[in-house]
Amino acid sequence: MALPPEAYTALDWFDREQRSIFERTWQFAGFVEDLAEPGAFRAVPVGRLNIAVVRHGDGDLRAFHNVCRHRGAQLLRASGRGDAIVCPYHLWRYDLDGQLDHVPMQGEEFPNLDKKKFCLKRAGVGVWRGMVFVHPDPDAEPVETFFAPMDAHMGPYRPDELPELELARTSTVVRANWKVIVENWIDVYHLSQLHSDTLYIGDHANAEFAWHGPHWTFREPLTAEYADGIENRSPLPLLPGFDTSNPVVRAPMLYPNLGVFEGESSWSTFHVVPVSPTESRIETRTRIAPASIPARALQAAKSLWNAPRRPARKHVQQHPSDPIGSGNFIAEDNYVCEQQQRGFESPMFEQGPMARHAEGPVREFRKRIRARVADA
């Protein structure tokens, strides 16, 4: 095992990861339409830091470290819109360029203050495939360069042209270290086991996966039974650009913590936000094909009528509330991640053998994490 159990439980490990990984990489901050109007802003946690990204009046995005230059209060929280950035504590005000432009009682209390010396500290911001990313370093390599190894391995979809399905937007706290959740995403071995009767439309035996730079790619064909007549089997209208002659789905993991699912009828982000050594928040957002509500309802009805036969269940529910066997693959994943976390915390834990091929991505991920943390 390339990582010791304390990598999943200890605050020291967690803090080193915050410094050496999250504060040195591009982090997901939302979509361009979240910041469409001048003055729109979002506050984004990045490791130990918080970064504010705003839409300037000139149409460009700006990013700043979300810390007042007076006494250090966090300036913005969550998201919203305004024509200036105002500290909630003493009302120091910054314009959307980060310039300090107003200090209450300046003449009396700060007669010699040079406001030009107390601008907000800049951070990096960029857009890739309709997604906004921020970086603590304003001089970091361009976001396009960071994700360049993935350009040839993503689907033909344009997320910014797909409407968001608001009902599918979720924020879930899972009692598991962030790496446990990422490892579950890249663990190919569990697909045919844990999800035997929930993700049965994927031909897992013929899945293709590999590392490209720091990122991981996954591509698998749909089963012949589901792909045959997929226009009537898909639960939602097919995405524009989905190739029915080569029906595959993709599920890359963008380093270090952003999963993307590119299915036949939906496109989703799966953002794993570390909260503590033993807790994470998973934020999901889903986009679908442009279609009217009646068209979606009709497609759902056709899908129910033409659904492929569900395979025999491998699991036996130990309790009626047990997520295993619930029919919800997300609930299954969250459950086993929490169970895995409990195992790491047990003094009896000892790593056993891992699958030679299908768990290879997990081994490689652990090696890469250890190398990064060693530099902290």
Domain CATH number, residue 100: 2.102.10.10
pLDDT of residue 107: 95
pLDDT of residue 94: 98
Other residues' Cβ atoms within 10 Å of the Cβ of residue 342: 13
> Beta strand pairing status for 266-276 and 279-288?
antiparallel
Q: Between 126 and 320, where is the model more confident?
A: 126
Q: Which of these three, 124, 145, 166, is where a domain ends?
A: 145
Burial annotation 154-170 (CB, 10 A radius, 16+ → b, else e): bbebebeebebbeeeee
Token pair belonging to 198? 């929930």
Q: Is residue 212 part of a domain?
A: yes
Rounded to 5 degrees, what are φ and ψ at 2?
A: -80, -15
Residue 119 shares a structural domain with residue 174: no
Token pair belonging to 30? 């939302």
List, for residues 32-54, the tens digit of each pLDDT value: 999 999 999 999 999 999 999 99
Token pair belonging to 105? 């009682």
Q: Is residue 2 part of a domain?
A: no
| 115-144: average pLDDT | 98
Residue 116 has pLDDT above 60, yes or no: yes
Label residue 316 by pLDDT band (50, 70, 90): low
Q: Is residue 10 part of a domain?
A: no
pLDDT of residue 249: 97
List, for residues 51-92, the tens digit of each pLDDT value: 999 999 999 999 999 999 999 999 999 999 999 999 999 999
In the chain, % of residues over pLDDT 70: 96
| 364-374: average pLDDT | 94
Residue 164 shares a structural domain with residue 90: no
Residue 88 shares a structural domain with residue 220: no
Q: Which strands, in side-by-side order, build the sheet including 93-94?
A: 85-86, 93-94, 100-102
pLDDT of residue 323: 81
Q: In angstroms, how far apart are the furthest CA atoms of the chain?
A: 78
Question: CATH no. for residue 167?
Answer: 3.90.380.10
Residue 78 shares a structural domain with residue 218: no
Q: Is residue 179 part of a domain?
A: yes
- Total domains in the fold of the chain: 2
pLDDT of residue 201: 87
Residue 332 shares a structural domain with residue 205: yes
Residue 205 shares a structural domain with residue 346: yes
List, for residues 162-220, the tens digit of each pLDDT value: 999 999 999 999 999 999 999 999 999 999 888 888 888 899 999 999 999 999 999 99
Label residue 314 by pLDDT band (50, 70, 90): low
Token pair belonging to 356? 């030679």
The whole-angstrom separation of Cα 136 and Cα 49 is 8
In the chain, % of residues over pLDDT 90: 82
Residue 375 has pLDDT above 90, yes or no: no
Q: Which residues contact 33 (CB under 8 A, 6 or more apart)?
A: 160
Q: Which residues contact 278 (CB under 8 A, 6 or more apart)?
A: 8, 9, 175, 176, 177, 341, 345
Q: Is residue 5 part of a domain?
A: no
Mean pLDDT for the chain overall? 94
Residue 140 shares a structural domain with residue 182: no
Residue 154 has pLDDT above 70, yes or no: yes
The whole-angstrom separation of Cα 255 and Cα 258 is 7
List, for residues 246-272, the tens digit of each pLDDT value: 999 999 999 999 999 999 999 999 999
pLDDT of residue 1: 57
Contact assessment for residue 93 and residue 101, using Cβ atoms and an 8 Å cutoff: yes
Q: Which of these three, 112, 145, 178, is where a domain ends?
A: 145
| 319-323: average pLDDT | 73
- Domain residues for the domain of 51 are 27-145
Residue 154 shares a structural domain with residue 137: no
What are the residues facing 131 on neighbouring strands?
31, 128
Q: Which of these three, 121, 145, 169, is where a domain ends?
A: 145
Contact assessment for residue 298 and residue 247, using Cβ atoms and an 8 Å cutoff: no
Residue 200 shares a structural domain with residue 136: no
| 217-231: average pLDDT | 93
Residue 270 shares a structural domain with residue 124: no
Residue 131 has pLDDT above 60, yes or no: yes
Residue 57 shares a structural domain with residue 127: yes
| 121-145: average pLDDT | 98
Residue 132 shares a structural domain with residue 166: no
Whether the CA torsion 255, 280, 137, 159 is positive or negative: it is: positive
Burial annotation 37-51 (CB, 10 A radius, 16+ → b, else e): eebbbbbbbbbebbb
Q: Is residue 11 part of a domain?
A: no
| Cα 164 → chain centroid | 16
Residue 6 has pLDDT above 60, yes or no: yes
Burial of 299 (0-12, 13-18, 19+ CB in 10 A): buried
